[in-house]
Amino acid sequence: MIPYDTPEARANIQRDLNVQPQEIIGITETNWCAYNYGDSARCRAVQGLGVLTTKGLVLSVYENKTYYRVFTLKAENTRCTHTITSKNTAEIFYAFTDNQAFMLAPITPGGQMNLPMKVKIYDYLSSQGAKKLIGSNVVLIKDTGEIAYSDSIILTVATPSPFPSSSPIYIMINPCDA
């Protein structure tokens, strides 16, 4: 759990991330992934903090009692957003810029989707004319036609046995112009 709702935590967020109190629209824990187009579509989500301000969505991490800014997503740089059902549904969504894609999952301290903050973040990122893509038919990833192979060891009757596996390699693409 990342502290953000006490006066002390809020003061530290403002100081560490260099944001003014009047700029803050909302703060929530946010699991996120950043992808460069053409990179693997696999992601191990960063467990961080999303600070929505009038100047952008600050994606940060909290380490050694300090908040560190990693990315700032601005509405004017967001080309499109994508959600499967709607902005009002408890599900992750994506934001796409010219160079990167971001998977965003604003959550509560209990790990549930923070729907009020999701709506605020989605509305902010879509506010400067970003195309709103909705549905499961939107193509975000592309099969490269290549296969990744890996081996692991499993115990069968107390005897280690090799277990080979394979999976297709997918890369992230920009769906905004599709």
The string of pLDDT tens digits covering residues 79-121 is: 999 999 999 999 999 999 999 999 999 999 999 999 999 999 9
Rounded to two decimals, what is the model's pTM? Answer: 0.88
Closest CA to 46 of 56, 33, 55: 33
The string of pLDDT tens digits covering residues 40-66 is: 988 999 999 999 999 999 999 999 999
- What are the residues whose beta carbons fall under 8 Å from the beta carbon of 114, sequence distance 6 or more? 28, 29, 106, 107, 108
By three-state DSSP, how is residue 112 classified?
coil
Given a cut of 90, whether residue 1 has pLDDT beyond it is no
Domains and CATH numbers, the chain: 7-134 (2.30.29.30), 141-172 (no CATH)
In the chain, the percentage of residues whose pLDDT exceeds 70 is 98
- Rounded Cα distance, 146 and 3, in Å: 42
Q: What is the mean pLDDT of the chain?
A: 93
Residue 131: exposure state from Cβ atoms within 10 A (0-12, 13-18, ≥19): middle
Q: Give the pLDDT band (50/70/90) at residue 163.
A: confident
Q: What is the pLDDT of residue 178?
A: 66
β 141-156/93-96 pair status: unpaired
Q: Position 176: which residue type?
A: C
The string of pLDDT tens digits covering residues 9-42 is: 999 999 999 999 999 999 999 999 999 999 998 8
- Rounded Cα distance, 40 and 29, in Å: 25
